[in-house]
Amino acid sequence: MSRALYMGDSYLKEWDTKVKSVKDGKFVVLEDTAFYPTSGGQPHDEGTITLEDGEPVKVIYVGKFGDAVSHQVEPENVLKPGDTVHCKIDWDKRYRLMRMHTAAHIFMQVIHNATGALATGGQLGLEKSRIDFSLDDYEPEKFKGYIEKANDVIQQDLKISAIFTTREEAMKVPGFTKLAKGLSPDITDVRMLSIGDFDTQADGGTHVKSTIEIGRLIFLGAENKGKGRKRAKYTIEP
């Protein structure tokens, strides 16, 4: 599988490529794609795939199946294997998710620094996002404080960068993952994402270039989901 284009450049919005395969007239695999598939708690991209002199075909779902990223399109039976196409991402949706996602990193690292907790789950959304932490005590007021700390970090305008390395090298970095489940065993080629010198961790998602792009984080509340699982909900300013 070729490395997804969004891994090298999260800001790539349009590109030309070829259709590799089509299943049932509507599940399209491209030679190169920057469409982000639903994964890691981040919803899939939407957008269009257009034939030369053709009407745009809508991308309504993007998923990862084995090694392939599959794009579900509408209408069906327009795209054929070998077609040259122009692809375009719905940038408003993606960019807001990039801001939400980068905010999640900072929030997680603030809590990790303060308590040692890891993230046991989470879901990003356009309106609101949530993260579950391996915390025993339920203290909503503390979450509020961590959000304010995260806002201080955001204001520092830290630059975000990524390098590729081996799994072995990645595992030498302290705190190389903030996920309780650890690094998926099938990942050998690891992308290490750094937010200034505040945080470095393994990550295959899409991020903004600088923390200042996130804007202000807003605390929306907490929930006690049981032993070792406390949920924090947040959003970002429009």
Q: Which residues sit at the interface with Zn ion, rule CB under 5 A?
A: 203, 205
Residue ranges with strand state E in the chain = 14-23, 27-30, 47-51, 57-65, 68-74, 84-89, 119-123, 129-133, 160-166, 189-195, 199-202, 217-224, 230-236
Q: Do residues 49 and 79 touch, judged by C-beta distance below 8 A?
A: yes
Three-state DSSP class for 150? Answer: helix
**Least spacing, CB of residue 201 vs Zn ion, in Å:** 8
For Zn ion, which is the closer residue by CB, 122 or 205? 205
Sign of the CA dihedral with 33 first, then 37, 41, and 46 last: positive
For Zn ion, which is the closer residue by CB, 83 or 203? 203
Q: Do residues 130 and 233 touch, judged by C-beta distance below 8 A?
A: yes
Q: Do residues 206 and 124 touch, judged by C-beta distance below 8 A?
A: no
Gap between the Cα atoms of 39 and 206, Å rounded: 11
**Least spacing, CB of residue 205 vs Zn ion, in Å:** 4
**Least spacing, CB of residue 142 vs Zn ion, in Å:** 24
For Zn ion, which is the closer residue by CB, 43 or 205? 205
For Zn ion, which is the closer residue by CB, 87 or 104? 104
Q: Do residues 100 and 191 touch, judged by C-beta distance below 8 A?
A: no
**Least spacing, CB of residue 101 vs Zn ion, in Å:** 5
For Zn ion, which is the closer residue by CB, 46 or 203? 203
**Least spacing, CB of residue 214 vs Zn ion, in Å:** 12
For Zn ion, which is the closer residue by CB, 26 or 99? 99
Q: What is the dihedral of CA 79, 80, 85, 90, to 10 degrees?
A: 40
- In sequence order, the 6+-apart residues with CB closer than 8 A to the CB of 117 are 111, 133, 134, 135
Amino acid in position 23: K
**Least spacing, CB of residue 56 vs Zn ion, in Å:** 29
For Zn ion, which is the closer residue by CB, 45 or 203? 203
**Least spacing, CB of residue 69 vs Zn ion, in Å:** 18
